[in-house]
Amino acid sequence: MTVTSQVKPEDEMLNWGRLILDGVSYSDMVGARDRPKEITWFDYWMNLANEYEQDAERKVALGHDLSAGELLMSAALCAQYAQFLWFDERRQKGQARKVELYQKAAPLLSPPAERHDLVVDGIPMPVYVRIPEGPGPHPAVIMLGGLESTKEESFQMENLVLDRGMATATFDGPGQGEMFEHKRLAGDYEKYTSAVVDLLTGLETIRNDAIAVLGRSLGGNYALKSAACEPRLAACISWGGFSDLDYWDLETPLTKESWRYVSKVGTLEEARQHVHAALETRDVLPQITCPTYILHGVHDEVPLSFVDTVLDLVPKQHLHLVVEKDGDHCCHNLGIRPRLEMADWLYDVLVAGKTLTPTMKGWPING
């Protein structure tokens, strides 16, 4: 593939707010920015991943598993941001390393992430489940990654959910992480969400009637479609998601490259056609029957017309709409508060069993 953009990944990826909230160390980002010229972006982060891993191995030998888990999680995030938005051989190297490091971290996290090796339509699909402390059964939240994020990156948000008494489940769907080599981005992500619902309903520690889905960015699109198509889901959060890709022209050059990469096509025009068809949800949104939280930032590349679409199509009685007037994509620039709001809303719906009244916060934006 020819990369048509001249923007360097590090220019576009340096969303410091996002990375820090997701657990990347501020000092490591400063180090990346100020690194010697002869060290590439990729090498800087991959070397750092090695350092964290070595530190973690030392910690395990000393019986300090808690620190080892934290350090391996940091290592996995370093590998993620090494490969982030590169579309050559670095991509798979970084992805493979992230998978390996997270797998080492999983049993050492607190609570641990237990690996379940599902196979869906002949494709291996590992699912990581974390169960909160205390007597179960517990509600659960299935977390969906986006265009550039995978099952290894939601650790911090998982912790907010776990702290509130809910389990978490993460996996890679079509076009993401470990599934990418087997299947490109497609129009059937909800099938894989449902496979995870199957898994969770079979676990004694999980409450079958209290399983939610939460997706970020492209994951927010998948979450909406999953909620529309999977009646067993008890709640849905679309965190910086979208209903369709009519706004393709507004995407940044590297995001378009990324769509092309995960679509496994040769040209941006083919990518546009493919994702436009695959990510259409408007036909199914009226089928949503569970409480649905939509978080949208006014400064997102996803245009405000998304909110109109939601108001048109998602049944009003289920809608909890939050529009942040100062928010960017996923409201990463607003700190932890939007994340606390989502975690507490999940607690209200799944743990406390509150019946929520339909809500519109921040909308209309000049209202």
What are the residue numbers of the active site?
Answer: 148, 217, 300, 329
Amino acid at site 203: L
List 333's β-bridge partners, or say none.
none
Task: Name the helix (H) or strand (E) containing 214.
Answer: strand 206-216
Of 162, 217, 224, the residue nearest 193 (C-alpha): 224
Select from 94-102, 146-154, 307-315, 337-345 the region that touches a copy of itself (CB under 8 A): 337-345
Distance from C-alpha of 146 to C-alpha of 199, rounded to nearest angstrom: 21
Would you say 249 and 269 are in contact if contact means Cβ atoms under 8 Å apart?
Answer: no
| Out of 35, 47, 55, 159, the residue judged to bind a copy of itself by CB under 8 A | 55
> Using CB under 8 A, which of the segments 166-174, 265-273, 283-291, 335-343 binds a copy of itself?
335-343
Which of 27, 355, 357, 366 binds a copy of itself (CB under 8 A)? It is: 27
Applying the rule CB under 8 A, the residues between 140 and 169 that interact with a copy of itself are 163-164
- 299 lines the binding site for a copy of itself (CB under 8 A): no
Cα first-last separation, the chain: 47
- Is residue 44 close enough to count as binding a copy of itself by CB under 8 A? no
Per CB under 8 A, 25 contacts a copy of itself? yes
Gyration radius (Cα) of the chain, Å? 20
Structure tokens at 179: 């599934």
Q: Is 64 in the site for a copy of itself (CB under 8 A)?
A: yes
> Which of 1, 7, 30, 119 touches a copy of itself (CB under 8 A)?
30
| Closest-CA residue to 19 (of 163, 216, 156) | 156
Measured from the CB of residue 133, what is the shortest distance to a copy of itself in angstroms?
8
Q: Which of 3, 5, 12, 16 binds a copy of itself (CB under 8 A)?
A: 16
In what helix (H) or strand (E) does residue 46 lie, and over which residues does it extend? Answer: helix 41-61
- Check residue 334 for interaction with a copy of itself (CB under 8 A): yes
Q: Would you give the distance in Å from CA 9 to the centre of its chain?
A: 19
Q: 303 with 247: CB under 8 angstroms? A: yes
Name the minimum Å distance from CB 168 to a copy of itself.
16
Single out the segment in contact with a copy of itself by CB under 8 A; choices: 54-62, 194-202, 244-252, 357-365: 54-62
Q: Is the peptide bond before 137 cis (omega within 30 degrees of 0)?
A: yes
* Binding of a copy of itself by 335 (CB under 8 A): yes
Cα 41 to Cα 301: distance, rounded to the nearest angstrom: 26
In the complex with a copy of itself, which residue's Cβ is closer, 35 or 93? 35
280 near a copy of itself (CB under 8 A): no
The C-alpha angle 45, 220, 159, rounded to 5 degrees, equals 60
Cβ distance to a copy of itself smaller for residue 64 or 182: 64
Cα torsion 36, 39, 42, 43 to 10°: value is -120
CB-based contacts of 281: which residues, under 8 Å, 6+ apart? 221, 224, 225, 228, 243, 244
Q: Which stretch binds a copy of itself (CB under 8 A): 82-90, 221-229, 238-246, 333-341?
A: 333-341
Report the nearest approach of a copy of itself to the CB of residue 349 (Å): 13
Q: How far is the CB of 325 from a copy of itself (least distance, A)?
A: 14
For 100-139, b/e burial (b = at least 16 CB within 10 A) is bbbbbbbebbeebbbebeeebeeeebbbbbbbbeeeeebb
Closest alpha carbon to 244 in 308, 171, 331, 288: 308
Instruction: Tell me if 67 contacts a copy of itself by CB under 8 A.
Output: yes
Binding residue (CB under 8 A) for a copy of itself from 1, 39, 340, 365: 340
**Residue 77 dihedral angles phi and psi, to the nearest 5°:** -65, -35
Window contacting a copy of itself (CB under 8 A); options: 13-21, 207-215, 242-250, 262-270: 13-21
Residue 324 interacting with a copy of itself (CB under 8 A): no
Which residues sit at the interface with a copy of itself, rule CB under 8 A?
16-17, 20-21, 25-28, 30, 55, 59, 62-64, 66-67, 70-71, 110, 163-164, 333-337, 340, 343-344, 347-348, 352
